[in-house]
A and B are shown apart, each in its own frame.
Chain A
């Protein structure tokens, strides 16, 4: 075969592989055949998914993922946890490397265009701003034109720059952003409120406070590939069952989260339904 012929054949093979992948078959069948649920979770995001002192991935959403595995396959251990980050979790899901993501995924319209969401099991505070104790700033409007540290790829970055006129200084990871805040490269750090609250509990951060409160609460959900109805139903049933049994409230306690009305209400509704 000529060089060009080989190239053409491999291109066709690649294209058909891509096509086969995008016309997603039935994830539920695959999961049952494999006897393992592959889940994308965070491992740097307490309390939702993080590494404990023993180096195991634990957290609120990890418990939820194990519960879903138990419902689908009979055992919470029939699970493979794949660490993902905000910038690659949707790509992991679309590429078929994970079956579902439980990775602090906020429900937004733009994401809804490319993936499907499970039921919205958490209502999480959006971003807030961590600043030194001495600051007099207490509203988003006061941050106009100011250098604020952030994280590249965060969903609210466009709103920050276009609507609030903030001069965002975006890092690849949280460690760099915290460091830059301490170096006074920016006057505050805009990030997910729950994570910042947790940061304040650390001794080095006692001279800082949440200066600007979140402007929104965003439902959080698991992410599924589009049009994967049977799998979506199975996952949703498992989540609602966990809600009805009050599991999510137990996990809030276990991982030191403040009890939210949202989860309590959903638990009541789910319990009434069962």
Chain B
């Protein structure tokens, strides 16, 4: 069809590479998304405590990791941290080797990048809380902690779900940059396959479809979650 040649897909080596690539992409995305959400929650919690030095610390973290390209963060983690002394001794060869593997470097920088964005998303959710609700909580005798867990978090997490979906889909796509530091994910193998077969267009189309499918599953799941958690009178509950 359209002169496209997919005969290379019959090669077991390429099949194997594509499967390994998809698995590594999924692992990287799942791990860094989970850590990013955790960082986002903790950061927003920290900000809500209104402690001066903690606010400054969290804002500094957000500015650093939100305002630098994740590609640069990965390269920095991969090449620079070991030079700065983050090394260990390989028990087999006795050589000094970098402590963090390529996968660890990619995972850490994606988690921090996503986490910085997630802090802002959760914070915006907490800040849209109508004052009347927190006041109602106080008048009913809820402590600061109980108000946070039982009133603010349930409402805020629902309010910030759409922007969290954006962050997670973006994070998923950003995993493709990890190929630069040799993490064998989908883009890494795609490049190798079209360099071997010269079927650049065909490989690109297939990879595009794989990403569209994977990210669509993620965003469909998020929209189902949104529908499930909907609040009467808000968003989809209107």
Taking Cβ atoms with an 8 Å cutoff, the residues of A that contact B are 86-87, 90-91, 110-111, 113-114, 152-155, 157-158, 161-162, 169-172, 176, 179-180, 183-185, 187
Q: How far is the CB of B185 from chain A (nearest CB, A)?
A: 12
Contact between B195 and A179, CB atoms less than 8 A apart: no
Q: How far is the CB of A131 from chain B (nearest CB, A)?
A: 12
CA distance A162 to B12 in the complex (A): 10
Contact between B195 and A86, CB atoms less than 8 A apart: yes
Residue of B nearest to A111 (CB): B198
Residue of B nearest to A187 (CB): B93
Contact between A155 and B195, CB atoms less than 8 A apart: yes
Chain B contacts with A in 172-198, Cβ cutoff 8 A: 179-180, 182, 188, 191-192, 195-198
On whether A179 and B79 interact (CB within 8 A), knowing A169-B182, A170-B192, the answer reads yes
Taking Cβ atoms with an 8 Å cutoff, the residues of B that contact A are 13, 79, 82-83, 90, 93, 95-98, 102, 179-180, 182, 188, 191-192, 195-198, 200
Q: How far is the CB of B48 from chain A (nearest CB, A)?
A: 42
CA distance A154 to B192 in the complex (A): 8
CA distance A261 to B95 in the complex (A): 41
Contact between A170 and B182, CB atoms less than 8 A apart: yes
CA distance A183 to B83 in the complex (A): 8
Residues from chain B with a CB closer than 8 A to the CB of A86 are 195
Residues from chain B with a CB closer than 8 A to the CB of A87 are 191, 195
Residue of B nearest to A162 (CB): B13
Q: How far is the CB of A201 from chain B (nearest CB, A)?
A: 25
Instruction: Report which of A113, A114, A185 forms a contact with B98, defined as CB distance below 8 A.
Output: A185
Residues from chain B with a CB closer than 8 A to the CB of A162 are 13
CA distance A167 to B102 in the complex (A): 14
CA distance A172 to B98 in the complex (A): 20
9 cross-chain CB contacts under 8 A: A110-B196, A111-B198, A113-B198, A155-B196, A169-B102, A170-B182, A170-B192, A172-B180, A183-B83
Residues from chain B with a CB closer than 8 A to the CB of A111 are 198
CA distance A158 to B12 in the complex (A): 11
